[in-house]
Amino acid sequence: MTGPILSVRGLVKHFRPRTRMFGAEGKPVRAVDGIDLDVPARGTLGLVGESGCGKSTTGRLVLRLIEADAGTIRFEGEDIRTAPAARLRALRRRMQIVFQDPFASLDPRMTVAEILAEPFVVHGIGDGAERAKSVRRLLDQVGLAAHHAERHPHEFSGGQRQRIGIARALALDPALIVADEPVSALDVSIQAQILNLMRDLQRARGLAFLFISHNLAVVRHMADRVAVMYLGRVVEEAPREALFAAPLHPYTRALLSAVPDPGRERQERIVLTGEIPRPDDPPSGCRFRTRCPLADAGCAATEPPLAARGNGHRVACHKVP
């Protein structure tokens, strides 16, 4: 298809707290607060930001693993927020997720063969012999041997478990995979192997990725475009090389200043002061203003829109011309 495979507009998710003692109700946590995203067909959008910014919640929202409060989520041109249960079940064959923790995302009571065959069972695809053949094919594609099928998850290393998780995501031949911090729980020596495997699979299968990570170096390796989140909002989005070469938002510049890059001229480290505001009580106006070295009184008055700055670059900042 031409254009984005996934298009999100005005996505909102506020988590309502439980009623407190004596009936007092806390403020809702504004985890995702009106964001727009496009994932290119056969390409990768990297979604980055500090812990708690809402990026993992975004990944679950676009798959309808949790329900959004507002906004549209169009997958292959169809708004999945309005899709009935039967249609959503069919669409799920085209959308899959690779979770962060390979230790927690696999059922310890099941063998690898049972784990990988389960998607076929759920969707009524093939008989026992056909499913066994598909399991062997999936294991081969992720670099595991056929004899691994009879083992249980606890018999594998973290990297091998993540390969199993990737194989499970590939089982139904999806078009889109949400990769939620897929290597952050792995040893550094294993991370590159998993990332290269995902890139190889993307080229071979024509996959699109929404790649979620806090690690900018990993995102630079994987993504075609990068969106930077802060406190439930996207503050900058650009093609990968444009963002890394010339970031516009003060928050993005601070993040990149902390990433070692032997090929880049040494630059001064930007140290952000203050704590990240609470997501149930974000600042007025620009949400980054309480930590921004450029902020003034005008930044508190209105929230800057995510506006185009040319060459596919968008930024939400009053101080960027």
- In this predicted structure, the answer to whether residue 232 has a pLDDT above a threshold of 90 is yes
Predicted confidence (pLDDT) per residue in 35-51, tens digit: 999 999 999 999 999 88
* 16 secondary structure, DSSP code: P
- In this predicted structure, the answer to whether residue 298 has a pLDDT above a threshold of 70 is yes
- What would the mean pLDDT of 276-294 be, rounded to a whole number? 91
Cβ neighbors of 19 (< 8 A, separation 6 or more) are 25
Cβ neighbors of 249 (< 8 A, separation 6 or more) are 228, 235, 236, 288, 315, 316, 317, 320
- What would the mean pLDDT of 18-33 be, rounded to a whole number? 77
Cβ neighbors of 18 (< 8 A, separation 6 or more) are none
Q: Retrieve residue 174's tokens.
A: 């999806």
- In this predicted structure, the answer to whether residue 256 has a pLDDT above a threshold of 60 is yes
pLDDT at 246: 92
Q: Residue 36 and residue 121: Cα distance in Å, rounded?
A: 35
Q: Residue 221 and residue 37: Cα distance in Å, rounded?
A: 20
Q: Retrieve residue 45's tokens.
A: 């959008």
Q: Which residue has the tokens 């010339």?
A: 246
Q: Residue 261: pLDDT band by 50, 70, 90 thresholds?
A: low
CA proximity to 219, closest of 94, 70, 55: 55
- In this predicted structure, the answer to whether residue 16 has a pLDDT above a threshold of 90 is no
Q: Looking at per-residue confidence, does 198 or 256 come out higher?
A: 198
Mean pLDDT for the chain overall = 92
Q: Residue 321 and residue 309: Cα distance in Å, rounded?
A: 8
Question: Rounded to the nearest 5 degrees, what angle is found at the Cα of 50, between the Cα atoms of 46 and 54?
Answer: 70
What share of the chain in percent tops pLDDT 90?
78
pLDDT at 274: 75
Alpha helical stretches, state H, the chain: 55-62, 85-91, 112-122, 128-141, 158-170, 188-205, 216-222, 240-245, 250-257, 297-301
- In this predicted structure, the answer to whether residue 18 has a pLDDT above a threshold of 80 is no
- What would the mean pLDDT of 278-295 be, rounded to a whole number? 91
* Residues 80/64, Cβ–Cβ less than 8 Å: yes
DSSP-based three-state secondary structure for 161: helix
Q: Residue 272: pLDDT band by 50, 70, 90 thresholds?
A: confident
Q: How many CA atoms lie within 13 A of 131 on its CB side?
A: 19
- In this predicted structure, the answer to whether residue 89 has a pLDDT above a threshold of 80 is yes
* Residues 39/176, Cβ–Cβ less than 8 Å: yes
- Bridge partners (DSSP) of residue 38 are 7
Q: Residue 260: pLDDT band by 50, 70, 90 thresholds?
A: low
CA proximity to 116, closest of 191, 195, 107, 154: 107
- Kindly list the distances between the CA atom of residue 270 and the CA atoms of 109, 185, 229, 249, 297, in Å, as whole numbers in the listed order: 48, 27, 18, 13, 22
Q: Residue 102: pLDDT band by 50, 70, 90 thresholds?
A: confident
- In this predicted structure, the answer to whether residue 216 has a pLDDT above a threshold of 80 is yes
Q: Residue 120 and residue 48: Cα distance in Å, rounded?
A: 33
The domain segmentation of the chain, as residue ranges, is 244-321
